[in-house]
Amino acid sequence: MAGPLPLGDPAPIDGRLPADLPIDPATPFSAYLHIPFCRVRCGYCDFNTYTSGELRGARQEDYASTLLAEIDLARDVLGAAGALRPMDTVFFGGGTPTLLPAGDLARMLGAAVSAFGLAEGAEVTVEANPDTVTPDVARTLADAGVTRLSIGMQSAVPHVLAALDRTHDPENVRTAVAAAKAAGLAVSVDLIYGAPGETLADWEASLDAALALESEHISAYALIIEDGTKLARQIRRGEVPAPDDDLQADMYELADARLGAAGFEWYEVSNWARSDAQRSRHNLAYWRGSDWWGFGPGAHSHVAGLRWWNVKHPAAYAQRLAASGSPAAGTERPDESSRMLERVLLQSRLAEGIAVADLPASNRTRVAGLIADGLVDPAAAVRGRVRLTLRGRLLADAVVRELTD
């Protein structure tokens, strides 16, 4: 399970938004639906997820009905604030959304569309474990309005999957992708690099396998050791080695080269797509600071600079909604300095970069030093934007510190 929720102000019991919230009806609106169930807990994961033995007071089969109550609440809250907008993107994440029957996911999507509407050409994504995707599941999701499946491949190498506690059959990635394509769904595959015992050759094999799937989108994330996870404890006890920063850098450079040669372009530090149209519009909504409502236990929401987050456990979440209250546990309204830091942190990771004019005024002169260090593209800087080079992507956190400290 994830760590503690953020500190913040108490959330209103009825979930209402502040009367002075500067809501812009032209700002895109998205929905995130959190499905907090997993068959097993992966050793590296600190997401707010639960295996069947951890639910205590909540039932997986009741979850769709419970989440529908939050959709009703959101419709009423946003409607009262004059902020009802059709959804530009919808994302079912987790956890493993496809552990629920496809009909339950369709039911939740239908309720959200009924409450808010769906913009023309909207992107609707469902995350999936390869072992849970069958032709029937893919067809049911496509018929419900899902447009995209994001498949958790992670690796094509059995010993790497074992190190990550991933239990799926690598062969099922291929069959899941085939089922999704046959149903007319776009496909993204997710990879993780830097697992204990993974070599550069292992990573190359996984990249080759991912490319052979001919998906439209590939995400490749460096393994990060989160406090409180099984993997963190194993490393602390000396049972497995910690990720090697230099090896992970080599793996990233290999991924960028192989994906680029195959026709993919990077558009965010960890994400590549075959074309602009195949980028994850939902994730871009986060990185660009759009509005979204996060449904489900532990989910976070953002509207016009106001943030709030739900109680973590599915049982507490269900109890709040059963009592006709909001499941929100806390809320905050970051000041301009905090918003500036977040804007630089997120937008600098995008291929489009961040406008120099959007940086803190006192830090704009530092761009020249970043160019000299090979971290920022000089041609983009001449056009008024800070865009990371390949070296800059490897040192993105250092660039952000330089631009915000």
Handedness of CA 389, 391, 394, 399 (dihedral sign): negative
DSSP string, 197-257: T--HHHHHHHHHHHHHTT-SEEEEEE----TTSHHHHHHHTTSSPPP-HHHHHHHHHHHHH
On the 0-12 / 13-18 / 19+ scale of CB atoms within 10 A, 228 is exposed
pLDDT score recorded for residue 43 = 87
pLDDT score recorded for residue 5 = 77
pLDDT score recorded for residue 3 = 66
Cβ atoms within 10 A of the Cβ of 211, count? 17
d(CA 381, CA 7): 37
CATH code for residues 29-287 = 3.20.20.70
Q: How many residues belong to the chain?
A: 405
- Strands, DSSP E only, in 259-342? 265-268, 271-273, 291-295, 300-303, 306-310, 328-332
User: In the chain, what are the domain boundaries?
Assistant: 29-287, 335-405
CA torsion, points 253, 277, 219, 299, in degrees to nearest 10?
A: 140
Residues lower than pLDDT 50 in the chain: 1
pLDDT score recorded for residue 52 = 82
Tens digit of each residue's pLDDT (9 = 90 or more) over 322-364: 999 999 999 999 999 999 999 999 999 999 999 999 999 999 9
